[in-house]
A and B are shown apart, each in its own frame.
Chain A
Amino acid sequence: MIIHGAEVVLANGVKKTDIRIENGKILGFGKNLSPRAGEETLDCTGLTVFPGLIDMHVHLRDPGFEYKEDIESGSRAAVKGGFTQICCMPNTKPVTDNKVTVTYIRARAAQVGLCKIHPIGAITEGQEGKNLAAIGAMKAAGAVALSEDGKSVENTGLMANAIRYAADFGLKCLCHCEDASLVDGGVVHEGYYATLTGLKGSLRAAEDILIAREICLAESLGLPVHICHVSTYSGVQLIREAKARGVQVTAETCPHYFILTDAAIADFDTNTKVNPPLREERDRLAVIEGLRDGTIDCIVTDHAPHHADDKNVEYNYAAFGISGLETSFALSYTALVRSGILTPEALAKKMSTAAAKILGLEGGVIEAGAPADLTIADLNEAWTIDPASFESKGKNTPFAGREVFGRVKYTVADGEVKYPFAR
């Protein structure tokens, strides 16, 4: 297949070139390639080709919470959002702490056959923070990382062992950072808007203390850790300082942390309830600066789909999370590239290359020999976010009604067009 007429986001810049794909791999580049006999041409004139987007932080809810999302609806949401690879968090039911669940997720993903799905295993059995999960067996079954996402491993000694043991199997711990005793039932950021709404707040320190702990462990052990969904200015600074002295720490953030602030909670819209919570303007700006200067390696969605019934309740009782797969690219492109903060190449790194590198996945680059994973978008198309049109079962987004730029037109994985969906 030939991808014809598009601007292509390569590692070192954007270049107008055709791309030839063969056997699921990128074969080469050239101007106005002419199709061989039987070769298909995808006319992408006016469009921009990114390396297939990779989201290393997604909740697919399957097995166990299929009423919120399942592997099929999550896969459809992913490719519609431009993702060719996603990694799914282990807070399923049963918890993904064993090889059987890892095997199930991979088999079901292959059956659905849209995007590549890489399971993330739990760090501890049942995510209970007591005994290490079957890390070796999960790795053998195809897990690409470990995480307790949704909470931290409270016991520091156990966390140190987890980082060490995981490293034996080439796995990293993706650390959700939250000191439970400081959060203590808090549902929003502790500040003006928490007081205004009377909703219980939690301090930045609740996140920062665990970021600092994981950095200390990584430094002491000489092993890598990855910090999930950074939301505080102080957390960004902790990671920046750690990187500067050579600690093996990587970090991610989500569109809601660089676009929204806690001002969004003032109307008690439960779609703004997310963990960690939306914070203040200084945090939002620091997260953007962290993305700009490389402190924060990648953008993830923390796609957390929920049924409407989980959100149409009192704020305190509503589920945490935002459905993000179908809005992340446009939100990030609009907020970061169109505003001049990041180049398209930098966005490609944040949304694809970096995650591949952190987790050791194939892909994340457009170069000869790489898998033909491509996200092809019309960057000038303006559209309005409408959750009713989501493929995801989770319609929970605080971005409903927002006008954004950048619409995914084609998602190509291993050389096959996965989106638009085959009829």
Chain B
Amino acid sequence: MIASKDLLGLCPLSAEEIEEILSLGLEFKKALKRGEKNRSELAGKSVVILFYENSTRTRTSFELAAKFLGAHVVNISVATSSVRKGETLVDTGKTLDAMKNDFIVIRHPAGGAPRLLAKTVKAHVINAGDGMNEHPTQALLDFLTMKEHFGSLGGLKVAILGDIRHSRVAKSNLYGLKKLGARVSMYAPRTLMPAGIDDMGAEICRSREEALADADVVMGLRIQLERQHAGNFPSLGEYAKYYGVNADVLKFAKPGALIMHPGPVNRGVELTSALIDGDTSRIEEQVLSGVAVRMAVLTLLNKEVV
């Protein structure tokens, strides 16, 4: 059971709520692996997928999750450039609510937008990524993938490397991992490290080696070319050389440490191709975990309605 109407982030969730999502997610994932795609948990319900940012992976994942649960699904794409000129988010929310939709899955470039929508509508709002704030279902799918391998997240060390400053994934991971008893180390160029994240429980490291030391999981975060143009680092090549993870650096992690990445990956930048395609990579596994965990979130939020 998720206590609130909406899933806005992992910051407001309890460890028990996260564990419940993961348990149900594991069941769904097993079912998916058996090829079961005709479920009825959301039969008769409607899900609107409202994306103000481009996405292939997350959008498809949510759409499949809702469809596998038997819901009616509608996709709405809003070009970011017209957001400010066009209908306000509040008015869009009221319109979707008036159509008696049960769920709105929103991705938005502005932090806090899902919260504003959730205050406006009766529908359950699921945050599919808001600005630099949170991306809770991405972190949940990461946890599901870890849980499958390790059984429990308690005591794990997760090293997160990449553009942490602009990453909602890093923050949702940090909130959830701390609640589940894992350690989180982080490493990034100072230009891509946000202020005060150590006060949220992250161990900020001064080298790749320190971040990876005895890590059970190594997570790369996407480096966007636009960050180079903004002067955060000289070039992707230099980033890869001094901040990327390769086989040599990986030696500092525990043997068999899992390689993860929320995608899409820049091969040879955050992680070398050898690691992306290696035995301990879980990057493809994460994708199926994503569908399963989103099914779990939809189901648990739906149960909450009495």
Q: Which residues of A contact B (CB under 8 A)?
A: 190-201, 268, 309, 312-317
The smallest beta-carbon distance between A320 and chain B, in angstroms, is 15
When distances are taken between beta carbons in the complex, the residues of chain B under 8 Å from A198 are 111-112, 130-134, 168, 171
Q: Is B84 an interface residue, CB under 8 A from the partner?
A: yes
A268 and B171 form a contact (CB under 8 A): no
List 6 other contacts, CB 8 Å, given A199-B131, A268-B116: A196-B196, A197-B112, A198-B131, A199-B112, A268-B111, A315-B112
When distances are taken between beta carbons in the complex, the residues of chain B under 8 Å from A191 are 195-196
Contact of A190 among B84, B113, B195 (CB under 8 A): B195
Q: Is B13 an interface residue, CB under 8 A from the partner?
A: no
B89 and A314 form a contact (CB under 8 A): yes
Q: Is B197 an interface residue, CB under 8 A from the partner?
A: yes
B110 and A192 form a contact (CB under 8 A): no
Task: Give chain B interface residues in 95-127, CB to chain A under 8 Å.
Answer: 108-113, 115-116
Q: Which 5 A-B pairs have the closest CB atoms?
A: A198-B133, A192-B196, A198-B132, A268-B112, A314-B110
B200 and A196 form a contact (CB under 8 A): yes
Which chain B residue lies CB-closest to A268? B112
What CA separation (Å) do A62 and B51 show in the bound complex? 38
What CA separation (Å) do A195 and B200 show in the bound complex? 9
A313 and B88 form a contact (CB under 8 A): yes
Q: Which residues of B contact A (CB under 8 A)?
A: 11, 83-84, 88-90, 108-113, 115-116, 130-134, 168, 171, 194-197, 199-200
When distances are taken between beta carbons in the complex, the residues of chain A under 8 Å from B113 are 314
The smallest beta-carbon distance between B81 and chain A, in angstroms, is 13
Most buried by A among B89, B108, B168, B196: B196
B171 and A192 form a contact (CB under 8 A): no
A314 and B194 form a contact (CB under 8 A): no
When distances are taken between beta carbons in the complex, the residues of chain A under 8 Å from B194 are 194-195
Contact status of A314 and B195, CB under 8 A, knowing A196-B200, A197-B111: no
What CA separation (Å) do A26 and B11 show in the bound complex? 60
Number of A-B contacts (CB under 8 A): 67
A312 and B111 form a contact (CB under 8 A): no
What CA separation (Å) do A201 and B193 show in the bound complex? 13
**18 A-B interface contacts by CB (under 8 A):** A190-B195, A191-B196, A193-B196, A194-B195, A195-B196, A196-B11, A197-B111, A197-B112, A198-B112, A198-B171, A199-B112, A268-B112, A268-B115, A314-B116, A315-B111, A315-B112, A316-B109, A317-B83
When distances are taken between beta carbons in the complex, the residues of chain B under 8 Å from A190 are 195
Which chain A residue lies CB-closest to B117? A314
The smallest beta-carbon distance between A149 and chain B, in angstroms, is 23
When distances are taken between beta carbons in the complex, the residues of chain A under 8 Å from B130 are 198
When distances are taken between beta carbons in the complex, the residues of chain A under 8 Å from B116 are 268, 312-314
Most buried by B among A192, A195, A268, A312: A195
The smallest beta-carbon distance between B12 and chain A, in angstroms, is 11
B171 and A312 form a contact (CB under 8 A): no
B111 and A195 form a contact (CB under 8 A): no
What CA separation (Å) do A5 and B212 show in the bound complex? 75
The smallest beta-carbon distance between A182 and chain B, in angstroms, is 12
The smallest beta-carbon distance between B139 and chain A, in angstroms, is 14
When distances are taken between beta carbons in the complex, the residues of chain B under 8 Å from A268 are 111-112, 115-116
Most buried by B among A195, A314, A315, A316: A314
Contact status of A316 and B195, CB under 8 A, knowing A196-B200, A268-B111, A268-B112: no
Contact of B89 among A194, A200, A313 (CB under 8 A): A313
When distances are taken between beta carbons in the complex, the residues of chain A under 8 Å from B199 are 192
Which chain A residue lies CB-closest to B202? A195
Contact status of A313 and B200, CB under 8 A, knowing A199-B112, A268-B115: no
A315 and B195 form a contact (CB under 8 A): no
A199 and B90 form a contact (CB under 8 A): no
A192 and B111 form a contact (CB under 8 A): no
When distances are taken between beta carbons in the complex, the residues of chain A under 8 Å from B195 are 190-192, 194-195, 201
When distances are taken between beta carbons in the complex, the residues of chain A under 8 Å from B197 are 195
Contact of A195 among B110, B112, B171 (CB under 8 A): B171
The smallest beta-carbon distance between A202 and chain B, in angstroms, is 11
When distances are taken between beta carbons in the complex, the residues of chain A under 8 Å from B131 are 198-199, 316
When distances are taken between beta carbons in the complex, the residues of chain B under 8 Å from A197 are 111-112, 133
B200 and A314 form a contact (CB under 8 A): no
Contact of A315 among B90, B110, B196 (CB under 8 A): B110
A309 and B115 form a contact (CB under 8 A): no
Which chain A residue lies CB-closest to B165? A195
A200 and B132 form a contact (CB under 8 A): yes
Which chain B residue lies CB-closest to A269? B112
When distances are taken between beta carbons in the complex, the residues of chain B under 8 Å from A195 are 171, 194-197, 200
